[in-house]
Amino acid sequence: MGKQGDENRLTRRDFLKRAAVGAAAAAGATSGIAQGLPAVSAATSKASGMKYRTLGRTKLKVSEVSFGTIRTGNAAVIHRGLDLGINYLDTAECYREGNSEIDLGKALKGRRDKVFVATKWHTDGKTPAADLLQSLDASLHRLNMDHVDLIQIHGAGNEEQVDSDELWEAFTTGRKAGKARFNGLSTHGNQAAVIRAAIKSGRYDAVLVAHNALTANNVGPAIAEAKKAGVGVVVMKALAPVHDGKGTEAFEKLTGNPYQRAIQWVLNDPNVSTVIVDMPTFDELEQDLAAATGAVTQAHIHEFEVAATSIAASACHLCGACTGQCPAAVQVADIMRYMLYHDGYGDQSRALSLYRSLPAAATAAACADCARCKAVCPWGLPIRSRMERAHAVLA
């Protein structure tokens, strides 16, 4: 259990009281112990121009643009973001080896009751409930909080990970103990299947998905189903097309800031509740928030789609079609994503770290040169040569 650090934090009693009120108002919800709080003051949203959307059945009103925190940790930057209307922050137990949660806890001291915090735990589908709950406790300790608003499976890649007795026991126990209000998952591989499995289980309140102009055909229909089923949709990797398209003529000629256009493209989808973006400096914060508050037309959105289409044949769409297809058991989809971190986001450290954590037999070194991956890729990407490069760069 996290430490009780400041007077503005919800006390356990407050939390349970609110939960009781919320539960009464939430008749029909399949999970979730509290409703629609905290409220961001009208003055704040009015002053910043930030707009808010409902996060599925949680009924939480979340800012359209929110904080991802893989790199973000400066308290002043986070405060500024909160002042400008951000009220949702996503972290994970492993980001910066736990320092992301520590930084977030420090930054939110005195402002915890004004925001929603989401973190994650790892499960392979068989992880014992006790281990998951221990992970949650460790996160709460680092965050210096007594609860998070959303606890999510980290990087679910198949249906088995999404639905297991141990998992449900952990979700339920965590919720009953007042440590996590809602259930969620994050996914960036085999996404459509994972999202549909989450919907089918009826037990998820929100999903965090990699979605952008390149994933529209694959992920788009699945998140529409999620919205319809009351599952909130949080989007990450919105900027991937800009990273992939950097230097291309189509992106060079875009009207306006391409990063803002990428965010606006995601927000143009009514099925999306919020898009999380890493904004470690004031410069990035202001740039990305302007996407939510700045003027955008359908012509701008169309122009961005055209630019994204121009790189569609060379960029990974994160569709997951290559997942589990390699006869040599190379984790192709994951390695493609690591290369996005490396080449696109410039996050070499994270890419290297993730690649190194793969079992040797799952790295690109195990490639048997059969070209099965290219055959199964709907876009016919030259995956084999990309695996070769990935191993050269990341191994």
Partner 1 sequence: MPSWRSWILVMSAALAVCGAAIAPGQGAPAQSAAAASWPMYQDARSFTPQNLWQYIDGAADLFLSYGFAGLETAQYARQGASEPAITVDVYDMGTPLNAFGVFTSERWEGAPALAVGAGGYDAEGLVAFWKGRCYVKIATTESGDDGAARALAEATAERLTGATALPDEFERLPSKGRVPGSERYVRKDALGHKALTNVISADYHVGKTTAALHVADLLRSAQAAQAWTKLRDFEKRAGTGFAAAKGLGEAAFSVRDSGYGEMVVARAGRYLVVAASEHATRAALKGLVKGALAGVAEARGRQR
Binding site for partner 1 (CB under 8 A): 74-77, 79-80, 83, 96-97, 280-283, 286, 348-350, 352-353, 356
| CA separation for the pair 112, 251 (Å, rounded) | 39
Between 178 and 280, CB nearer to partner 1: 280
Helices (H) and strands (E) in the chain, counts: 18, 10
Question: 3-state secondary structure string, 173-205?
Answer: HHHHCCCEEEEEEEECCCHHHHHHHHHHHCCCC
**Shortest separation between residue 338's beta carbon and partner 1, angstroms:** 12
CB of 285 to partner 1, least distance (A): 8
By C-beta, is 14 or 282 nearer to partner 1?
282
Coil, helix or strand at residue 172: helix
Q: Which is nearer to partner 1, 74 or 325 (CB)?
A: 74
Return d(Cα 116, Cα 387) in angstroms, integer.
Answer: 38
Which residue lies nearer to partner 1 by CB, 45 or 215? 45
Query: Least separation, in Å, of the C-beta of 265 and partner 1?
Result: 25
Kindly provide the residue ranges of all beta strands, DSSP E only, lying in the chain, ordered along the sequence.
Answer: 52-54, 61-63, 65-68, 88-90, 116-121, 148-153, 180-187, 206-210, 232-236, 274-278
Amino acid at 195: I
Looking at residue 147, what DSSP letter applies?
A: -
Question: Minimum CB separation from partner 1 for residue 46, in Å?
Answer: 17
Question: By C-beta, is 77 or 308 nearer to partner 1?
Answer: 77
Q: How far is the CB of 80 from partner 1 (least distance, A)?
A: 6
Residue 280 or 324 having the CB closest to partner 1 = 280
Quote the least distance from Cβ 263 to partner 1, whole Å: 19
CA distance 261 to 247: 16
